[in-house]
Amino acid sequence: MKQADCAEFQKTVSEFLVQNRSILDVMTKLQDAATRVNRALAKTVTACGCLRVEASKQELPEDVTFSHVAEYVQSHLQGELCPNCADVIETELGNAMFYLAATCCLLNLDLKNVLERENDRINTLGVYSLT
């Protein structure tokens, strides 16, 4: 199976945006898709158990610089996704990506340009871009 690039993916999404041509539909479906991703992640812990969340306060040394914070913080995740949960989450992320691309289509934005611009912003600002 060949890999789709951003332009090809956006073109495919545009071709299949038949019922959901309203920006209001796409906005709410994007939000719903993000919720479904979150729900699928929660179920890896609560239903399957392949992941565990072990969270506590992130302890940082007093003298740590912001650029070194990543060395001290944790994801709070323990375990690995099982194949079934990975498949479900990939499906839900793909659905969310469909509606993200659909948003770009309806606004005449190029998804690849959006990704490149964000990548450049992150690379330019580094960890400071995420605050």
d(CA 9, CA 113): 13
72, 76, 48: which is closest to 62 by C-alpha? 72
CATH number at residue 123: 1.10.287
Domain assignment present for residue 31? The answer is yes
82 in a structural domain = yes
For residue 1, being part of any structural domain is answered with no
31-77 pLDDT, tens per residue? 999 999 999 999 999 999 999 999 999 888 989 887 788 888 888 99
pTM: 0.84
Q: How many structural domains are present in the chain?
A: 1
Residue pair 37/99 in contact (Cβ under 8 Å)? The answer is no
User: Could you tell me if residue 91 is inside a domain?
Assistant: yes
**Does 2 fall in a domain?**
no
Residue 103, helix vs strand vs coil: helix
Domain of residue 15: give its range.
7-130
pLDDT tens digits along 12-35: 999 988 777 899 999 999 999 999
Q: Is 98 exposed, middle or buried (0-12, 13-18, 19+ CB in 10 A)?
A: buried
Residue 15 lies in a domain: yes
